[in-house]
Structure 1
Amino acid sequence: MPIGMGKLAIVTGASSGIGLELARVAGREGYDLLIAADEEAIHTAAEDLRASGATVTSIMADLLTSAGVAQLVDQIAANRAEPELLMANAGCGLGHAFLDQDIVDVRHVIDTNVTGTLELLHAVGGMMRAQRHGRILITGSIAGFMPGSFQAVYNASKAFLNSFSFALREELKDTSVTVTCLMPGATETRFFERAGLLDTNIGQSEKDDPADVAETGFRAMMNGEGDIVSGVKNKLQAAIANVTPSGVLASAHRNMAEPGSSRKS
């Protein structure tokens, strides 16, 4: 189903969780949707969104690769649509101790969360600067404020995105392109299952509603805010992290993410 000639919102990692909810909000706001993920479920998500009245194009693309990013960019060009919103939400996690992880899985996290995201931002951000308007939302995380013992690569990747978003925002401040970083806490998605974190305190903890997180992030983006931490509890955690020594934070994170920690509590 082709995109119409209306305002275009691009959402990555949109097959479920926060990404799907971001697409849902944008659809309600009257945007045509181009959604992408690396799994067949993206097409099911598209049908769900169409049932709500949205105009949707879905593509299955591995956005950790240059070929996957090019596939998404080519779809924008094929539909002759100017991107109004880019919600770069694609990401993945990885639990357990770094030296026990398969290095292929480590590279997958880095390539998905960092390399592929940057390549997409470079391509679509360049379009937005050329057309002199656009809004970008990058899904970072409050995990980026903490050294992530037993989740080290994921937290480091989110620290990168948190930092990068502010730098890109500054570089674009004299344009009409805005950059917002959404920093959610633990959210009720498939993330913890996929990352092998179910047998941990954080995996077993009460989590935020992805619809609430998406609504918060979308509104911050539309208001042109630089960053938003979703949820009062997460705002407090972020504030504490900013004044706590890194060693203490790393120890605290171990208590949350070490395998089997849910059985020790």
Structure 2
Amino acid sequence: MAEKLAVITGASTGIGYEIAKIAASEGYDLIVVADEPQINTAAGDFGADGVSVQAVQADLSTIEGNDQLLAAIGERVIDVLVANAGLGLGHAFLEQDVDAWRHVIDTNVTGTTYLLQKVLQQMKARDAGQVLITGSIAGLMPGAYQAVYNGTKAYLDSFAYALRNEMKDTNVSITVLMPGPTETEFFRRANMLDTPVGTQEKDDAGMVARTGWDAMKKGSAHVVAGTKNKIQAAVSHVVPDTVLARMHENLAKPNDA
């Protein structure tokens, strides 16, 4: 077993999968988790680098699912936590099922918050550790036709900065990764393939993962992946929210709506 351990959530596909590949290539043992059986197949890919890989299939929208992950970690020291698990949900809010939008909030906000508290308590106690939280530039703008998702990412973006401040006198670093639209399963799962953003060219997940990982290793507060997204993030700080909401509508409103 390696001397260092990375725990990565949402690692079956997309950005989390690519981050796990990077961590394995740098000699980290892995505990990877997702809510689908595909996490077991992904674990086999990561193990090709000769590190120990443990896959956990758990529903991180629940406290019980997070406790299942924590039980798998046991007494092992966590050197890196990548809190990447998340769900999207497109279309108009009034048309969405309550169970669907609650699942997004429970996964992106409640489950992530609970896991971060438990892991950061351990890291603070030993005064060491690195955390990467996958936020989004979506959290910087009102998400018309993606309202709940953008709200959860606004929470994570803000929460990461607050935690970083609370941990400033320790050797624990907290970094928030803020990607834009990325080529993953996200838009299919969020029922957004009938939208302009769902069909447009997107950033490469490997590039986004490398950007986030490198920023975390440097101890940066945050990083926006991709030049276009950096511009959009800058614009969001000076353009009125009403205009930002209309801009987001042009991206996320279904083509036939």
Could you tell me the TM-score, scaled by structure 1's length? 0.95
Q: Are positions 1:7 and 2:7 aligned together?
A: no
Q: Matches of residues 252-263 of structure 1 in structure 2 within 5 Å?
A: 252-260=247-255
Query: What residue in structure 2 maps to residue 158 of structure 1?
Result: 153
Give, in angstroms, the shift of residue 260 of structure 1: 1.2
Give, in angstroms, the shift of residue 75 of structure 1: 1.0
Q: Is the 8 A contact 2:143 2:245 kept in 1?
A: yes
Moved more, 123-132 or 148-157: 123-132
Q: Matches of residues 19-168 of structure 1 in structure 2 within 5 Å?
A: 19-77=16-74, 80-168=75-163
- For 1:150 and 1:219, the matched residues in 2 are separated by 32
Give, in angstroms, the shift of residue 55 of structure 1: 1.6
For 1:164-213, what per-residue CA distance to the aligned partner results, in whole angstroms no more than 9, with x for missing partners?
00000000000111100000000000000000100111001110010110
Q: Is the 8 A contact 1:36 1:61 kept in 2?
A: yes
- For 1:225 and 1:17, the matched residues in 2 are separated by 22
Q: Across the two proteins, how many residue pairs are aligned to each other?
A: 257
Give, in angstroms, the shift of residue 5 of structure 1: 5.1
For 1:47-82, what per-residue CA distance to the aligned partner results, in whole angstroms no more than 9, with x for missing partners?
1111232320000011111111111111111xx420
- For 2:126 and 2:72, the matched residues in 1 are separated by 17
Q: Is the 8 A contact 2:174 2:219 kept in 1?
A: yes
Give secondary structure in 1 for the equivalent of 2:248: helix
- For 1:133 and 1:52, the matched residues in 2 are separated by 25
Could you tell me the TM-score, scaled by structure 2's length? 0.98
Q: Is the 8 A contact 1:147 1:253 kept in 2?
A: yes
Q: Is the 8 A contact 2:2 2:52 kept in 1?
A: no
Give secondary structure in 2 for the equivalent of 1:83: coil
One-letter code of the match for 2:200?
A: S
Q: Tell me, which stretches of 5 or more residues in structure 2 are unaligned?
A: none
- For 1:115 and 1:29, the matched residues in 2 are separated by 31
For 1:107-161, what per-residue CA distance to the aligned partner results, in whole angstroms no more than 9, with x for missing partners?
0000000000000000111111111100000000000011000000000000000
Q: Is the 8 A contact 1:5 1:81 kept in 2?
A: no
Q: Tell me, which stretches of 5 or more residues in structure 1 are unaligned?
A: none
Query: What residue in structure 2 maps to residue 248 of structure 1?
Result: 243
- For 1:53 and 1:67, the matched residues in 2 are separated by 31
Between the aligned residues of both structures, percent identity stands at 55
- For 1:241 and 1:131, the matched residues in 2 are separated by 38
Query: What residue in structure 2 maps to residue 194 of structure 1?
Result: 189
- For 2:245 and 2:44, the matched residues in 1 are separated by 42
Cα RMSD (Å): 1.0
Q: Is the 8 A contact 2:2 2:28 kept in 1?
A: no
Give secondary structure in 1 for the equivalent of 2:163: helix
